[in-house]
Amino acid sequence: MDTLTIRKPDDWHLHFRDGFMLQETVPATSRCFSRAIVMPNLIPPVTTGSLAESYRQRIEAAIPKGSAFTPLMTIYLTDDTSPAIIADASKAGVVAAKLYPAGATTNSASAVHNLDQMQPVFEAMAHHGMLLLIHGEVTDPDIDIFDREKVFIERRLIGIVERNPSLKIVLEHITTAEAAQFVLGASDRVAATVTPQHLLYNRNDLLVGGIRPHNYCLPVLKRNTHQLALREAVAKGTPKIFLGTDSAPHERGKKESACGCAGCYSAWSALELYAQIFEDLGALDYLEGFASEHGPRFYGLELNQEKVKLVRESWHVPTEITLPDQNKIVPFYAGMEVRWKVQEV
């Protein structure tokens, strides 16, 4: 098979950033995705409906002429988020709120310190039909970084799911066998996204032969048994796991640093890499569900009617991208060969 035509996909988790960076990130995603769940971890974060609305307008201004793309806006939960803020955000068209445990990842310093105090906010979200998107890692200093997701599920997530029977929850960018198992065994209100890097790589790709800062993201890559469990889960075609690239650009100097930032910028290659992964798994028939159907069904949104065509064509991811301010980004999979290519229309 040398072409693959699928319903146009959506990206259910990414970081566009702001300002001139939108000139780079928005076209990279709108080239093949119809919608994207836009993460709110700007500095300062997007915490209200009105901040989300003005961010939406800045994103829309960066959509290339002639391409149809809809950003789906989220807000960032803090210790000060109230049910009134949720009601107001829902009115402004915000579809989901993002829970970062404070300190868990890039730009999460102003996030939630005490999860137990969030219950009224979760109830308001359920009432307004807003989804809860979770960065599932504990931040306790005594918990090993490779165990942070597993411990979050045990100590936090199970309780949140139990106390909120009508709240839809997405455990984002899952990285472990425990997360896959939890989501597959949970009720229909619980789903997960998975990134290309967590399906393609394990922690050897981060640490063997030298530290590879461009493969550093959070939650951090895990051992290969976890990578295999994630691959096995998507290869079954489960409707509970769908596409979320977590495309997260950082300038080269911020990654190649004594204290490098977490995040992989995959927007230019993600759909092609997912196709390659599903092909390697003998699961190409499930790519369309993963990329284009399970996500909108879970969010309660219409399926896209347009199609995208991928062709079997070898190309190499650029080794760097120049931003409008002349700074550089090293994209995910830089310089590596990819076997599928989205056909430009």
The reply to whether 246 sits near Zn ion by the rule CB under 5 A is yes
Residue 268 Cα distances to 97, 315, 322, 341, angstroms: 26, 12, 13, 10
Catalytic residue among 80, 142, 205, 246: 246
Pick from 263, 289, 295, 296: which binds ligand NCD (CB under 6 A)? 263
**Which of ligand NCD, Zn ion, none lies near 262, with the C-beta cut-off 5 to 8 A by kind?**
ligand NCD
The reply to whether 288 sits near Zn ion by the rule CB under 5 A is no
Segment near Zn ion (CB under 5 A), from 93-101, 155-163, 222-230, 243-251?
243-251
CA distance 176 to 178: 5
CA distance 244 to 291: 9
When CB distances to ligand NCD are compared, the closest residue is: 263
> What are the phi and psi torsion angles at 329 (to 5°)?
-120, 135
Segment near ligand NCD (CB under 6 A), from 85-93, 101-109, 296-304, 329-337?
101-109
Instruction: State the minimum distance, in angstroms, from the CB of residue 315 to ligand NCD.
Output: 25
| One-character DSSP codes across 267-321 | TTTHHHHHHHHHHHTT-GGGHHIIIIIHHHHHHT-PPP--EEEEEEEEEE--S-E
- For tokens 């190649």, the residue is 256
Q: Is 142 a catalytic residue?
A: no
Query: CB of 270 within 8 A of CB of 11?
Result: yes
CA distance 249 to 329: 7
**Which of ligand NCD, Zn ion, none lies near 106, with the C-beta cut-off 5 to 8 A by kind?**
ligand NCD
The reply to whether 245 sits near ligand NCD by the rule CB under 6 A is no
Task: Tally the residues of the chain.
Answer: 345
Segment near ligand NCD (CB under 6 A), from 100-108, 118-126, 282-290, 318-326?
100-108
Q: Which helix (H) or strand (E) holds 13?
A: strand 11-14
When CB distances to Zn ion are compared, the closest residue is: 246
Catalogue the active-site residues.
246
Residues that bind ligand NCD (CB under 6 A): 15, 41, 105-107, 135, 217-218, 246, 248, 262-263
Residues that bind Zn ion (CB under 5 A): 246
